[in-house]
Amino acid sequence: MSAPPPYASFATFAQTPDGDFLLSVLCKRTYRWTMSGEVGWADEQRPLMHDIELAARGDRNGEIVTQGRDVWPLKRATDVVVMGHAHSPGETPVPRLDVGVSIGAQRRQIVAIGPRFVEHRGRGQIAFSPPAPFTSVKVSWWNAYGGIDPMVLPRGLEDTPMFMGRPTLELFPGAYPRNPSGTGYMIEETASLLDGLALPLLEQPTQLLTPDTFLVRDAKQWWRRPPPAGFGWCHSLWFPRILHCGGKPYHMPPPPGPGTIVNEFALGMIEAEELSAAARRFPSPRLTNEAAPDMILPFLAGDEVVRLQGFSPRGEQGFRLRHERPQVRARVDGVELAPLGCHIHTLAIDADAREFYLLFSTRFAIGGELAIDLIAQAEVDEIIPRCEVRVDDRMLARDEWPSAEGDTEGS
């Protein structure tokens, strides 16, 4: 058996909400699987991503995240992301297709529906065209419920959401805060916009759009709408991540009460205080989780069975994660540190390539003089020479540590 490929690694410092300093050693390994369920190491190992990757599309608003940031020092749970295309069995055209992801006992289901359009037949008369048969659809936020109603605008310039001096359409009152880059979200009955509007190709099976419930009518009631259907990365401007990054949508949803339970609150992704107190929204340890709210799972063990439904014309796929862990050792000022634990930060699956990667974080408590220097914000080039980190007995090089421009990061 060949030797395993080395982990793509990066060591960085973090400060917890309690004020403690940690050393987090991030290790990434890419795997491939076969239709029979065999898992091996991928020939090409994917590098650690130090920033997000974005994509834009001419007929959609804003941008979507196509790759999350790997080098967050800490996460509170595992991000599970699945990218790729849904395929009908045997590539036979179908009007509808069930698409699902299972990770151990956790299962998430969406439905892919053939192309449909809104038919506006007069005031108060809305219909949907029947779905056209299809063989494949990209599982992307672009194809999910969302978008921006361009007729619902801020009250004036002083009320216009801005970022770096420019209007931010994703935060306009007509935007769907959960996915402003999708399609099908309309607040007002504007005939010229409604007739021929593309409906989502991906929906929640228990919350399908209907002509009777299609229009939102009141922008403040966006939180009652179905969550977008998908398994991708979430933008920091989207709800609920925007709360954890210190921002807010144009219209905040109400705090929990009879008949007013916001979906993300029910999932445990937000707290009641975040909806009413700006000081409770930032900094939030939740901001580093970038998966869809219902795809942020308790830390995976690393040996779960993964099943993908609808992602191959050859049928359901299944494989078991390989229970591998990087062997990480750390010394500071010549003293060996005891690891606090090793957690899986990310499981990212590329269904089209039949590849996935696991991102691990091995954590060590930092104390003594080094903690004092970190509190004093000492120069990173003075701190790193005092540290030695080995991953599977390979010592990390200087470029596998933070640069002088950005040393420690809170979480």
- pLDDT for res 296: 97
- pLDDT for res 410: 45
How far apart are alpha carbons 250 and 222 in whole angstroms?
11
Better-predicted residue by pLDDT, 60 or 362:
362
Is the predicted pLDDT of residue 407 greater than 50, yes or no? no
Nearest alpha-carbon partner for 223 in 264, 182, 258, 190: 264
pLDDT digits (tens, 9 = 90+) for 213-234: 999 999 999 999 999 999 999 9
Residues 88, 313 contacting (CB under 8 angstroms): yes
Q: Assign 408 a pLDDT band (cuts: 50, 70, 90).
A: very low
Give pTM, 2 decimals: 0.95
Of 82-91, 109-118, 259-268, 396-405, minimum mean pLDDT range = 259-268
Residues 306, 349 contacting (CB under 8 angstroms): yes
- pLDDT for res 161: 84
Is the predicted pLDDT of residue 194 greater than 70, yes or no? yes
Q: Assign 158 a pLDDT band (cuts: 50, 70, 90).
A: confident
pLDDT digits (tens, 9 = 90+) for 122-138: 999 999 999 999 999 99
Q: What is the mean pLDDT of residues 228-253?
A: 94
With a pLDDT cut of 70, the percent of the chain lying above it is 97
Q: What is the mean pLDDT of the chain?
A: 93
Is the predicted pLDDT of residue 411 greater than 60, yes or no? no
How far apart are alpha carbons 295 and 80 in whole angstroms?
5
With a pLDDT cut of 90, the percent of the chain lying above it is 78
**345 Cβ contact list (under 8 Å, min separation 6):** 26, 70, 72, 75, 78, 79, 359, 360, 361
How far apart are alpha carbons 350 and 356 in whole angstroms?
6
In angstroms, the first-to-last Cα distance of the chain is 40
Q: What is the mean pLDDT of residues 362-376?
A: 89
Is the predicted pLDDT of residue 254 greater than 60, yes or no? yes
- pLDDT for res 406: 54
Of 177-181, 248-252, 318-322, minimum mean pLDDT range = 248-252
- pLDDT for res 186: 98
**14 Cβ contact list (under 8 Å, min separation 6):** 21, 22, 24, 73, 74, 408, 409, 410, 411
- pLDDT for res 164: 62
Better-predicted residue by pLDDT, 45 or 245:
45
- pLDDT for res 405: 66
Is the predicted pLDDT of residue 280 greater than 80, yes or no? no
Q: Where are the domains of the chain?
A: 8-410
Residue 90's alpha-carbon distances to 82, 123, 177, 396, in angstroms, are 21, 43, 37, 47
